[in-house]
Structure 1
Amino acid sequence: MTDIEVPQGITLIDTPLAGIKVDTPAATGVIYFNGAHIAAWTPAGQHPVLWLSDAAILEPGKAIRGGIPLLWPWFGAGADGKHAPAHGIARISAWNLLQAKVSPVGTASIILGLDGGAVDAGLAPELPRDYRLELHISMGRTLIVQLVVMAGEDALVFEDGLHSYFAVGDIGKTRIEGLDGAAFSNRLTDSCATQQGDVTFDAETDQIFESQASLRIVDEEWNRTLLIEKVGSVQSVIWNPWIAKAAATADLGDDDWQHFVCAEAVNVREQSIAVAPGGRHLISQTISVL
């Protein structure tokens, strides 16, 4: 997956998957080439910010439960409900390491790339073959994740997103600020409503909010707030499986629902992205511990 040399603070790893480990004065983290998957990020002196399931399937070509999976070029099973694998092909494809640098203060800058021509055409036969994806990662005391989609000679139409799993001390003592007044669709009841106040959790939650706003995950158990700022995203998905769905999901522990919340920057369904031939689209999250 790489022929480049890596600097001090970044180590190439082979197990449980090929990837890189970051260990600098600013942060530690793990990034797998499978799916360009950010599996861990812990700023110096903090609790882990990203959550990864102990039951995650860490095998090439398999989706990884936790961290930051990439959603592209469709969300879920697609708008028609017939697409597989769930959430698209980017998160199960083998990406290449294009750049790895470390700044004097310990911020790791990493670029991973995926060429459409290298992806099994049978996974997404409707796509042209000359697209290119890049994931730009800046991992230090803050985490910046930028997915760049570049069209070739043909236009691209797709859904995209950063499916971030955030670690929390107790989901029952967690709330999300920034969505008051936003319209949302409830994927569990197939209904629409307007958010009143902060988002709190006392049952399974799966909602798509029409909002470009930054979010704050307020975690009373760990006495911290996570700030999630986004660019190129007009929606946020908030998800937690709660008790029954966690127990029924093979790569989740029965009690895992208590310790994470997904806050995803997305563009899905009616907000799908259209990129002209030769054009590009960027979606990003900047994550900070306040």
Structure 2
Amino acid sequence: MTLEQLKMLKAVIQEGSLQAASNRLFKTQPAISKGLQQLESTLGVTVLDRSGYKLKLTQQGELIYQKALMLLEQSDQLNQMANHFKTGYEAKVVIAVDAMFDLVKLVPIFEHIQQEFPHTQILLTQEFLTGGIDAIVSKKAELAISAAEANFLKTFKLVTQPIYTESVINVAAPKMLKRHQNLMESSQLKEEYQIIVQDSGSFTKDVELDVQLGQRKWYVNDYHSKRTLCLSGIGWGRLPYFMVKDDIRNGRLTPLRLSDSQTEIKIKSYVMKRKGEILGPVATRLWNEISQLNHGLGEIREE
């Protein structure tokens, strides 16, 4: 059985005759007739009913024909994929995205990429703190979106583009706040658990940011776990505003207003790539479209 024989079967059924199939495939009628006979001989099944004026499928032939259409479609997809790769399109593009960044902003971009480059696999990894920068520096990703200070980025050979300013806000549940009727400063919370997301990168190893000396701590590996613990009243901490704005609006969480700590902090997010590296066409398109999220935050910089 060959794909060519299955194409002959498809053409005969869709066109309704050997002559029409011959014109469609640019093959002689005897060649098509012989190809169909060889197909039936290989399968050991009569696929076509030749008793009438018009060729039609036998009962077994109906089932075989449906499978043949599936195989031909898969073959077409395989050829398209091979052509896609031969023209230089990447098989896979990895983009590391800080969990602090609202993915909703990227959905329209991913939809464009999916439609235009259906055979390139986009692998999105979620990172925390310096994890996105680590993924770029260690060449685990082609692109990254990470929240970082500009001075920190200068220590790496990267091309960076500011794209959005995110807010993180210090919150706690009313249940926890009832234990502190006169809460004024962070030192009063030392015996409560500060919920801390661990860095998925290596650049702040053994460094605790925004944590006071002697503070009790619980560590989690994602913001959703942190939010759940904060909602329960077990602890408190900073969370991306987009993740908790409904909780604040509905009274499930309350912004912590302390005299010695900022309630809300603005953090700039960057899209970044390695300096001097030529990206493939799909990664380049991703870079260009994500860079356009820039809302007047600054020009592309090479650190």
TM range (shorter): under 0.3
Taking structure 1 as the reference length, the TM-score comes to: 0.22
Structure holding more strand per residue: 1
Larger of the two Rg values belongs to structure = 2
Q: Using CA pairs below 8 Å that are at least 6 residues apart, which structure has the higher relative contact order?
A: 2
